[in-house]
Amino acid sequence: MRKRVGADILCSTTARRGTGARHKPGRRLSIPNLITLGRILLVPVVVLAIISGEMSIAFILFLAAGISDAVDGFLAKRFHMTSELGAYLDPLADKALIVSIYISLGIAGALPIFLVILVVSRDIMIISAFMLSWLIGKPMPVRPLSISKVNTAAQILLATLVLAEHGFGFDFGMVTKLTMALVAVLTLLSIAFYLAEWVRHMNSFGAGH
């Protein structure tokens, strides 16, 4: 009897240790997450550079942020470092950087104000819709749409062109204007698609519950 009890205690202790060991890495910040946090901390520096008229520095920092985004994505997939925290941090870092740059470029007069308002309003509307769905007990899964990915790519391209023009004196002319128009159209389409997805989710959630 004593041996069985002792064995049970030993197994229980070992199981607890094993469980702790399995969950311990999940509580730590992985290298990709640290890189992502570094990208978030880079946001105010880029904003300061743009507001100060140091567009070349802002361009270099923006380029570094883009490279870090590719690096942390590669590390997460190649070495199986993906995590739930990273799934939230990565898009947050991207959005914080893009929105901050667009607002700064708008203040600096490098981007049309209407485009800045459109880009920022779109993100505010999407975030508000997600928050509302959670508040009323109908949580919507965070899943970026294909149109949103294309829109983000266009926004990054436009920011790169504008920073390069003002930082190094390049003149992309019609390419920049067409990219501005593309960003405006994709932003409007993205709003429409997310709105339709949100309404569909809210209706289906209500019908299922």
- pLDDT tens sequence across 50-98: 999 999 999 999 999 999 999 999 999 999 898 888 888 888 899 999 9
Q: What is the pLDDT of residue 150?
A: 96
- What per-residue confidence (pLDDT) applies to 6? 44
C-alpha dist (Å) from residue 129 to 11, 76, 199, 202, 203: 48, 29, 10, 10, 14
pLDDT in tens, 128-187: 988 998 898 888 877 788 999 999 999 999 999 999 999 999 999 999 999 999 999 999
End-to-end CA distance of the chain: 51
Please, which contacts does 136-141 make with residues 24 or more away whose CB atoms are closer than 8 Å? 138/201, 138/202, 138/205, 138/206, 140/198, 140/201
Q: Is the pLDDT of residue 28 over 80?
A: no
Q: Give the residue, 45 or 25, on which the prediction is more confident.
A: 45
Task: Identify the burial level of 1 via C-beta atoms within 10 angstroms of its C-beta, where 0-12 means exposed, 13-18 middle and 19 or more buried.
Answer: exposed
Structure tokens belonging to residue 101: 């740059």
Please state the domain extents for the chain: 30-208
Count of other CB atoms within 10 angstroms of residue 203: 11
pLDDT confidence band for 207 (50 / 70 / 90): low
Sign, CA torsion 176/119/101/41: negative
Q: Identify the CATH homologous superfamily for domain 30-208.
A: CDP-alcohol phosphotransferase transmembrane (TM) domain (1.20.120.1760)
Reported residue count of the chain is 209
The mean predicted confidence, pLDDT, of the chain is: 86
Cα angle value 78/60/55 (rounded, 5°): 150
Q: Is residue 13 over pLDDT 80?
A: no
How sure is the predictor about 10, in pLDDT bands with cuts at 50, 70 and 90?
Answer: very low
Using CA of residue 75, residue 80, residue 83, residue 87, what is the dihedral sign? positive
Give pLDDT, residue 14.
43
Place of tokens 């409007």: 188
Query: What is the model's pLDDT at position 17?
Result: 43
pLDDT at 9 over 50: no
Burial class from Cβ neighbours inside 10 Å (0-12, 13-18, 19+) for residue 128 reads exposed
Query: In angstroms, rounded to a whole number, what is the distance separating the alpha carbons of residues 145 and 43?
Result: 25
% of the chain exceeding 70 in pLDDT: 84
pLDDT at 15 over 80: no
The half-sphere exposure of 21 on its side-chain side, counting CA atoms within 13 A, is 6
Residue (of 113, 32, 21) closest to 73 by Cα position = 32
Q: What is the pLDDT of residues 107-125, one digit of tens each?
A: 999 999 999 999 999 999 9
pLDDT band at 22 (very low <50, low <70, confident <90, very high): very low
